[in-house]
A and B are shown apart, each in its own frame.
Chain A
Amino acid sequence: MANEKAHPAIEALISKYREVVEGSPLEYTADWKAKHPGVKLVGCYPLYTPVEIIHAGGMLPVAVIGGGNRLEIAHADSRFQSFVCSIVKSTLELGLTGQLKILDGIVFHSICDPARNLASVFTRNFPDLMVEYIHFPQNLTSRHAVSYLAAEYRRVKASYEKLVGRPIDNEALCQSIRVYNEQRGLLRDLYRLRSQSPQNLSTVETYILTRIGTFLPPEEHIAILKEAIAAASRRDERLKDRIKVVLEGSFCEQPPLELIEGLEAAGCYILDDDFLLGWRWFSQDVAVEGDPIQNLARAYLDRSVYSGVKHDTREPKAKHLVDKVRETGASAVVILAAKFCEPALFDYALYRRALEAEGIPHLYLEFEEKMWIFDKARTEVETFVESMLFD
């Protein structure tokens, strides 16, 4: 990079964490735990967890997002069939091979049928792990949804109070909301920066900077983000001849970094995406005045982003995608869906319909977290990009 010397810190930082992300964030977390023996760890399966409740109890919420492409599946594929997505199997494999022993608890949510059954399989196979399951409301027009969700959060809070052995008070909750508000706010800044000048911040960099926040303490992540955003803002690269796209469909299982990188190298700037969506769940801050549990519940209904696992009858999902394309100024959409991920696959049918109606070109790709070979995807993107550039 031309001006590498001007701000070496961010590159060094990103490449350090790239190794962690590509290797095993769980190993990193194990080291962290060794240095902080008193702190309990709660694993969070995608997508969204009200991490504030865990954090306010003095515990560290860490994402459990499958096993990447370096984990061999030797046991879990006899428990979950070939037609189930990779992340379900790799997460179970991590458990069956003892790699989740560092966790004190794990939380699943009502995102899809396989993840729901996985929660039960965890309960049976790992009796020492506290398995929690959150049912998020899917009736967002009901006058009673907020109070239902607040009750659900109180139930979850009681469960974590038991795990940590002390009450979690409102003051601590408000403080945690402030911390995560700051973190999510910075992530929104980071995304905005990339969307406005994608030549200065690549998607892989954005991804790594976001991903580390899923296993570092948020306070540490905040400091890194501030530094990274400042450094990236100083960059001044030339815009290349690439098409600008919005990427959609990778909200749960995560594609390998090489694939993300490959997409950009094949001639796209990704202006927005739905990677790690649960950790960027709110489009605005969660309110801090008043009852924190109520505020978290209300934010889920009123301030959360759209997603394949949240079914909001107030507005068609496809409209959100089209709006995103218009707002960012992208000229196309890349659907990057996890293989066998029904929420993403079903969404595609409606997205395709809406995109065609709006005259927005799109490319449909599937991935698996465990994939190693990216040539085919890359060729498809190149062909797509060419068809757009020379049209």
Chain B
Amino acid sequence: MAKKETPKTNYQGQMHLLQKDLMGRYFDSLTRAAEQGEGKAAYMLISGNPVELMLAFDMIPVYPEINALQLAVKKVALPYIQKAEEIGYSMDNCAYVKADVGLFLGDRKTPFATIPPPALILCNYVGCNVYLQWFEHLAEYSHGEIFNLDIPFMRDPSGKPTKEDTEYVVKQLEEVIEVCERITGKKFDYQKLQKIVSYSGQTGELWSKIKGLTKRVPSPFDAYFDSVTMMAPLYCLRGTEEGLKFFETAYKEMEEKAELGMGPLPEERFRFVIEGPPPWPYLRTFRDLFAKWGAVAVASTYSTVGGLWEFGFKHDPNRPLESIAEHMLEWNLTNRNFLQRYDQIRRYVQEWSADALVIHSVKSCRLFSAGQGDMREYFTKELNIPTLLIESDIEDPRYFSEAQMKNRVDAFFESLEHKKILREASAPGGQA
């Protein structure tokens, strides 16, 4: 195989400009809250959250995970991580938490926003146990009010929540309403919540349609690297009119590309499913490792951490609290058990016609990574799907070894390329 030039992947459509604008405005609202005391901040986690309820009280959702992510993308996370390590956090703790704690204990000014202190620390405990400690620590540092919104994990073999699970979550949401009424001094407005939930429903539906587009060959966008652009508005602006508009624009644009047979790369040579979060500090480098092989991600589990809409879930304005509960319980990756994830990936590989699975195992996030060796075993041994497992980190730049990563990725695609040539040659009509 001749050495390949890395094709350019910095496509900038209308969607990207709109995204920048919207996210800029979202971050400005955080800065205004921090500097001018405009509005009350509710800290939450990304995974299946009740942002709809916060918006019903005009609270400003603040996501410490997004703070950490932005710091990593902007390549400024390390000093914050080190600051946390100086005060007792371990090398082996999730670096999202460390970056955020380092930021929180300083002046909370970042290149993208100034982070307001919390009026409410709403720990939506959806799967990840680190969340509980992260927010416990923030509560201790800020003396802010904390509410642990406990979401029972998907443990039944059916993969469904029990009736009692759903009731328990709905009742806790009612308790959250009481807390928000007290904090904001506003009365709960049911119709307003219904409106917001209806925006979320429509947004989720569009997002799911967008994801369906990557079943086409070639895939109109990369379901990992480009999905990230859409995930920010999905999480920060879900439940708003402008969030919905963004997804209308994105869908139109992606659909057009699909119709025109355009993809993110000049040639789509391989379709892969990717499992695990990206290495934010080295996103571009990481992307190029795959782009160079003409490899496009057609589905990713990471794009479902905050919600899994592509298998039929939709927020329902007629049952707002119940559907928020269902979203938190069942319809997001983090609260589903590991075997449900195997199944999700299997569906992606089959229904999105992928050639391979790439597992990016990140040290920080054991929710994602712990046991991915077993996952690899399942996909290679049971399903015969070529699977590559590579390791680095989601946040900490010290765990990214480009040379090593490149060797692994190259070796993997070289062997796929080889198999592909053999297959094409032996196929009827091929040159035997």
Contact = CB atoms under 8 A, between A and B. Distances in A.
5 contacts: A81-B370, A133-B337, A147-B168, A342-B93, A345-B89
Contacts of B133: 311, 342-343, 346-347
B88 A349 contact: yes
B321 to A, nearest CB: 14
Interface in A139-168: 139-145, 147-148, 151-152, 155
Contact of A81 (B89, B137, B164, B361): B361
A140 B125 CA distance: 13
B88 A117 contact: no
A345 B90 contact: yes
Interface residues on chain B, size class? 35 or more
Interface string A341-362: 0110111111011000000000
B175 A148 contact: no
Interface residues of A, number: 56
Contacts, number: 169
B359 to A, nearest CB: 11
Contacts of B391: 81
B172 A139 contact: yes
Interface of B: 84, 87-90, 92-94, 97, 101, 125, 127-130, 132-134, 136-137, 139-140, 146-150, 152-153, 155, 162, 164-165, 167-168, 171-172, 175, 337-339, 342, 361, 363, 366-367, 369-374, 377-378, 391
A145 B96 CA distance: 29
Given A138-B125, A313-B148, A342-B94, A120 B372 contact: no
The CB with the most chain A CB atoms within 10 A, among B140, B155, B378, is that of B155
B175 A143 contact: yes
B180 to A, nearest CB: 15
Q: Could you tell me the dominant secondary structure of chain A's interface residues?
A: helix
Given A133-B155, A311-B133, A347-B133, A80 B139 contact: no
Interface of A: 77-81, 83-84, 88, 110-114, 116-121, 123-125, 133-135, 137-145, 147-148, 151-152, 155, 309, 311, 313, 316-317, 339-340, 342-343, 345-350, 352-353
B336 to A, nearest CB: 10
Given A84-B366, A345-B89, A345-B90, A148 B164 contact: yes
B371 A349 contact: no
B150 A138 contact: yes
Contacts of A117: 338, 366-367, 370-371
Contacts of A141: 147-148
A347 B90 CA distance: 10
Contacts of B148: 138-141, 311, 313
B164 A152 contact: yes
Given A120-B371, A124-B339, 14 more contacts: A81-B391, A84-B371, A113-B130, A124-B374, A134-B155, A139-B147, A152-B164, A313-B148, A317-B136, A342-B129, A342-B133, A349-B84, A349-B137, A352-B87
Nearest to A139: B150
A135 B127 CA distance: 10
A145 B339 contact: no
Contacts of A88: 370
B383 to A, nearest CB: 13
A313 B374 contact: no
A123 B369 CA distance: 17
Contacts of B168: 142, 144-145, 147-148, 151
A7 B88 CA distance: 46
Contact of B337 (A116, A139, A155): A116
A183 B172 CA distance: 35
B151 to A, nearest CB: 9
The CB with the most chain B CB atoms within 10 A, among A79, A112, A116, A152, is that of A116
The CB with the most chain B CB atoms within 10 A, among A140, A346, A352, is that of A346
A353 B136 CA distance: 14
Contacts of B137: 346, 349-350
A367 to B, nearest CB: 14
Contacts of A112: 129, 366
